[in-house]
Amino acid sequence: MKHTALTKQLGYVFTQPALLQRALTHRSYSAAHNERLEFLGDSVLNCAIAKYLFTTFPEMPEGELSRLRSNLVNQNTLAKLAQKISIGPELLLGEGELKSGGALRPSMLADALEAIFGAVILDADFSVAEKVVLGLYVPLIAELDLAAMGKDAKTQLQEYLQGRKIALPQYNVVEIKGEAHAQTFVVSCHISKFGITTQGEGASRRIAEQIAAERANQLIKEKK
């Protein structure tokens, strides 16, 4: 059976394997690609996470719930989870995307994971898809600093530096890849005090900056 290792990580075996195959198919590989499944999976993910947070944190106000959910369903978190279950090697990509390292691109990994969630709800139902989502997310949520998760990566980094009277990071666009309608931004984040420079890649400058800031946060934690 194809994708056996991946289905084991997901905790779900498809009755219609073609749905999983499509969820892993990028538009560069075939006209039967995963973008519609990604659209569906995005809604599944948001609903499953919102329900879980609402139930698990009954005292948390709406604003904090919204911020926490946004941090959990963003591209960076999705890409990390996709890497954890090794989605990259399973992706079906066109030759150009393969050569350019598409299987490692956070946006591509995140899209594929959302598409898998969409594939599960079509193969089964929402309760099963919710179980798959939470199977990946609950261990992650258990490890989180909830106070920090209420703030995005750039805000966390800024507050950390300001609290220590350190100059704020400099963000610069390093590269813009792709056609005008489907651009990918590569942004650097430089912190002179620590001699740290990280990069983030995403479908917008804002997303790329957040990913770069998250990586800078991680490097700072490792230096402590």
Residues belonging to the active site: 42, 114
Q: Under 8 Å CB-to-CB from 213, ≥6 apart: which residues?
A: 152, 153, 154, 156, 157, 169, 189, 198, 200
Instruction: Find how far residue 92's CA is from the centre of its chain.
Output: 19
Question: What are the two backbone dihedrals, phi and then psi, of residue 93, each rounded to the nearest 5 degrees?
Answer: -125, 150
- Scanning the structure block, which residue is given the tokens 């499944």? 37
Instruction: Locate 165 and state its tokens.
Output: 């009277």
